[in-house]
Structure 1
């Protein structure tokens, strides 16, 4: 059984979907990846134990040329199973790949397919994708509820949940946070970290707006924003305007392989993610929240899309209103001023991730769907 993975979401490009697709490749017995061009891809691909074929473009689209190339790769590598790393739009190639000999087609969905499900023209395309696939997978119950109405009844019945896992060996208490604190000058102070791209959906601006309230109760607390993104300048200006610039630390981009110690450096992980653009831009899941739980951190997460699936409210952390900085501040202060409560939540979070969010479980689900 050889699986051809067709995707735009693959390292060295960074992101949750990229990590998800890459990690699933390790769970498959024989895999070939067809993906788009990315800076630094030659060096990265040389480290992998399976072949990666890069297209000449920086984004695969379901054109006749790309479809012909995918068919050629199926025949060259003897692949009769197809995994679309993201169903829309590449899943539109499904019928052609089926005619070329694909025995099983699995199309993964994430957050962006939820807006496809609500837009008339895209809705029809998503239905075609679902009909061409043996299974459409979803990362959260919220995503499943939004996508299912756009599919035909038969395709909706074939939907399955396929979630990312967490490597609890990499994300573990004591995995290097002390060194990060030392390097950033954060030794001996309470730290709240948000590890994510700096974009509006992730809610770093809500944390900055909440910080003056946090400071009233915990004067020496620091906010650590880990990651790069288009909102860096906006967030820096906001911190100055709010009067907390000396309490906010920006790390800039951090390679995915080096992320665990930054999570471990925190006392609390917070990402008040929110749904934007009239519901078309939600948080599909938020694997970084589960990685923080695996590292033994209590979490504060915004109530957006499928993010609720990543926290057991009151047990591993808290779900908060991402549009209410005061409410976010209350939960952060509660955790920073009650270390035993925070430790209990963090311990419960790690236990939960070890039991229910492993890559072995995700791999078993995918192998069952693809076989």
Structure 2
């Protein structure tokens, strides 16, 4: 099957370093692994348009056909929004000319690229929805023409054959948008939850020294705690620093590595100095997806310390970093939000039940703590720092879990199983 992958979001480069770039690359890899041909239409290759230093093309994607329609040279929200609309029109034209068997679009404000191409060319459309962008944009960024954004969202949702949503809260939001728009069409798209995943083959086995029992030789390296992700306020990295300050000075003395860059870096570095932990904290800055497996292999404990939202529905993420932590064989400490308790604590089918008499199949892959609580986070870190056997057991359980249930190929298979296999009547 020939798949046209549409990425009209001007904030995401197909070969950039953001989690969204990783997500796009992994779904493309999965489609290709299943034997499909993929062509990409996007607004930029790297994190910044025209800056080759922000482009990191993985070796296995060097042959990927990529067509760039830039959103560049514009200033202000109004001009940027209008530019996205124009790019989406051209992207739809190219998608129709490509005569694809399937269109797969990452939902973006102001884009109806997939909907226009679907209506004109008849190829089935999967719309991947990773966030309730209308509300998110108003809270965290600027939104000039709200009514145009709403119209584009409703049109894209109505034309899609499948809305593939990253979490249950996002799926609920998508269903509400469709319900509010009821009566404008004679059909309702399918809505399904497709959480993030991971390619376990990209990640190495745990370091041998993680397997040492408690009380290992003095030459054993200091325990390194890590965080991976873009440094944004809603990732809770400041909470991690405060929790780390509570355990510094205890034996064995740990280290903290913050992997990734972002707008919060200077504030977080200042906070580290203020807390007196600067010498024990390393900020790597931005890293390419290709660097991530080795950087995780050098950790002993991984964290996802999300702050407390005003309500549970606000935590609509399916944290990509957590799946990568698990694939790297790392024990995880995460805030008890969204899917994370079920994924990590051994509750429900997400972690699995013993198979073939193997009780280890249902072992916990991590620890969850109350969100926004640095004291609880510090206590969980203490527990794992002092128990290397438990770290090794959790890491092994997490690795088994993602191999069994959470690969990107499994995600792609489940999405493709939900869409028509032939072109459909135009509407």
1:111 counterpart = 2:144: no
Q: Are the aligned partners of 2:164 and 2:193 in contact in 1 as well (CA < 8 Å)?
A: yes
CA RMSD of aligned residues (A): 3.3
Distance 1:157 1:118 in 2: 26
Aligned 8 A contact 2:19 2:229 in 1: no
> Is 1:265 paired with 2:298?
yes
* Bigger Rg, which one: 2
Deviations 1:182-232 (A, max 9, x none): xxxx97111101111122221111111112222254451111111111111
**Counterparts of 1:237 and 1:349, CA distance in 2:** 34
- Which residues in structure 2 correspond to 1:64-143 (within 5 Å)? 65-90=86-111, 92-113=112-133, 115=135, 121=147, 125-143=152-170
Paired residue total: 363
Q: Does 1:160 align with 2:192?
A: yes
Scaled by the length of structure 1, the TM-score of the pair is 0.85
Provide the secondary structure at the position in 1 that maps to 2:117: helix
CA gap of 1:211–1:67, structure 2 versus 1, over 3 A, is closer
Shift of residue 26 of structure 1?
2.5
CA distance in 1, matches of 2:380, 2:277: 19
The worse-fitting range, judged by mean Cα deviation, of 53-62 and 65-74 is: 53-62
Query: 2:328 corresponds to which residue?
Result: 295
* Aligned residue in 1 for 2:43: 36
Q: SS at 1:14's partner residue?
A: coil
Post-superposition Cα deviations, 1:118-147, rounded to whole Å, max 9, x if no partner, equal: 999566653332211111111122332343
Whole-Å separation in 1 of the counterparts to 2:228 and 2:293 = 10
The partner residue of 2:241 within 197, 204, 208 is 208
Select which of 204, 221, 224 maps to 1:172.
204
Matches of 2:325 and 2:58, distance apart in 1: 28
Q: Unaligned regions of 5+ residues in structure 1, if any?
A: 179-185
8 Å CA contact 1:33–1:51 kept in 2: the answer is: yes
3-state DSSP of counterpart to 1:188:
coil
Secondary structure, counterpart of 1:252 in structure 2: coil
Aligned to 1:348: 397
1:325 to 374, 378, 381: 374
Q: Does 1:25 align with 2:46?
A: no
Label 1:118 to 1:128 Cα distance change in 2 as closer, same or farther (>3 A): farther
The reply to whether residue 53 of structure 1 matches residue 67 of structure 2 is yes
Determine helix, strand or coil for the equivalent of 1:284. coil
